Structure 1
Amino acid sequence: MTPEQRYEDRRERLVEAAYTLFALEGFGSTTIERLCATARISTRAFYEHFDTREDLMETVYRRCVQASLTVVGTAVRQAEPTLESRIENGLTRYFAWVTEDIRRARILHLEVNRAGDALQAVRRLMLVDFTAFVEEAVEGLHGMSREDLRLLAVGLIGSMHELSLAWTLADDPPPVDRLAATAIHIFRRAFGA
């Protein structure tokens, strides 16, 4: 490998280690030393890529957010051009995707909050991205003002977060189809669909 390829390989191994350790052992319980041992890199190499554990968590979180937007975006684009179809396809696919791998659910809905204040700003930026996505998905299909739609989108995203968090923390998680059905019901009622 070239030096650049080795650099990227070490970085990717570190991100993959963080994805698993932050999700399954918890952000607070995962030390830099443990991350480095799992990624098979030196502690010095860690600091070539990231300044802090929070910086690494931000990278993992952003990847999860981007992947979720891609998955849901594809589902919405494949739906019939109706509000009902977009709601159903988007939410069904989101809950299927986020629950396929418990690490996704834990990073997106639990561990990012446990990472503390350092990640609250990036979490807020991701909320803006999700809000814009919901606005775009229903644009022209509902006659509410832009500001009302934005506020409604924030509330609906909050409901999805709480449903996902409840599933993540449950000793006996509810069936995924029930999560999706509940979210679909909330969205339908909110938009009068």
Structure 2
Amino acid sequence: MSAFTTAFAHSMSGDAARVPTEGGRSAYGEVSGAPASRTYGGLESGQRQAARRARLMAAVFRLVADRGLRRTSVGAICRTARLSNRDFYATFADLHTAVETVYQERARQALSAAAEALHRSSPEPGSRIAAAVRAYLRFVLADERRVRFLHPQELPTDTGLITLRRRFMSDLLHLAGPPPDHPRLAVPPTSLMVCALLGAMDTLVSTAGLPIGPAEVNLRIDTGADMVQRCLLAGAEPAQLDATQ
């Protein structure tokens, strides 16, 4: 199980709290503003910093989704956000840090969607897995930019995104997996399983042919849920599998 927590785990109980922690810190990052001081333009210092951060993150998301990481620059981000390079470097150490921060934010939102779905699902393992994976895929497929940002077709190897993506998929599988009271049904996700499912998800939500109609969206969602069910329940005995249907 990967060692990290998500922001929503602090405010939700039950399934959301199943996401592991590491020293009480989220590997998806935490936003901390400087203490407010002088007021300018109706905003205090901390509010201005938060507003700049939000504008930069929105620009990063838009440009990386539309152009790809290799064709996104700090200058382009600043022009889109209508901020200066100085504002950018006062907020992020470099381009890769900015992109990873935005990925962390979107990953938190995706896991929140999966956790909310688990609250409404049947406690049976198969139903839980399907509910969480379907919620995740609905979240992604609802926005073409989310598809291209969370499941890029081209990803440089010199960024931390590769590790973050594997960590996210591992936690999604643990969150969706059978609860502790069904230990025999739980197949702990191995590194190989995580990589395989991440690649399969990349293909499943590929932007090729987008925008797609409702029927195709539902087909992809059902396919993804079935795929993860088969992986996580692979070690269950036939009688146990029947009980999950």
Report the TM-score range of the alignment, normalised by the length of the smaller protein. Answer: 0.7 to 0.9
Of 76, 88, 93, the match for 1:46: 88
CA gap 1:109/1:117 in 2 versus in 1, 3 angstroms? same
Q: Gaps (5+ residues) in structure 1? A: none
Which position in structure 1 is the counterpart of 2:189?
A: 150
Alpha-carbon distance between aligned partners in 1 of 2:170 and 2:53, rounded to the nearest angstrom: 28
* Cα deviation digits, residues 34-63 of structure 1 (max 9, x gap): 100110100111110111110000111001
Partner of 1:101: 143
2:39: which partner in 1? Answer: none
Q: How far apart, CA to CA, are the structure 2 residues paired with 1:62 and 1:97?
A: 15
Tell me which residue corresponds to 2:68.
26
Letter in 2 for 1:26: G
Given candidates 94, 118, 128, the residue that maps to 1:86 is 128
Aligned-pair identity in percent equals 24
For residue 31 of structure 1, report the CA deviation from its aligned partner: 1.1
Tell me which structure has the larger Cα radius of gyration: 2
Contact in 2 for aligned 1:65/1:126 (Cα 8 Å): yes
Normalising by structure 2, report the TM-score.
Answer: 0.67
The structure with the greater share of residues assigned to helix is 1
1:59 and 2:95 correspond:
no
1:185 aligns with 2:226: yes
The answer to whether the 8 Å contact 1:91/1:183 transfers is yes
Please, what TM-score do these two structures have when normalized by structure 1? Answer: 0.84
Distance 1:90 1:124, change over 3 A: closer
Listed one character per residue, the Cα deviations across residues 113-145 of structure 1 (whole Å, up to 9, x for unaligned) are: 62432213333433443343234x443235156
| Separation (CA, whole Å) in 1 of partners of 2:136 and 2:176 | 13
The partner residue of 2:59 within 11, 14, 17 is: 17
Q: Deviations over 1:62-105 (max 9, x none)?
A: 01111111000110121011123212222222211110011212
Equivalent-residue separation in structure 2 for 1:117 and 1:130 (angstroms): 24
Distance 1:125 1:86, change over 3 A: closer
Residues 33/61 of structure 1: CA separation in 2 closer, same or farther (3 Å cut): same
- In structure 1, what residue type is equivalent to 2:155? R
State the Cα deviation string for residues 127-182 of structure 1 (Å, max 9, x = none): 443343234x443235156xx4232x962674365234343231255811111221
Aligned length: 188
Q: Which amino acid aligns with 1:85?
A: S
Measured in 2, the distance between the counterparts of 1:149 and 1:64 equals 25
Q: 1:23, 1:107 within 8 Å by CA — same for their partners in 2?
A: yes
**Residue in 2 that maps onto 1:170:** 208
Contact 1:54-1:118 within 8 A present in 2 as well: yes
Kept after mapping to 1: 8 A contact 2:170/2:189: no
**What SS does the aligned partner of 1:114 have?**
coil
Amino acid at match of 2:104: R
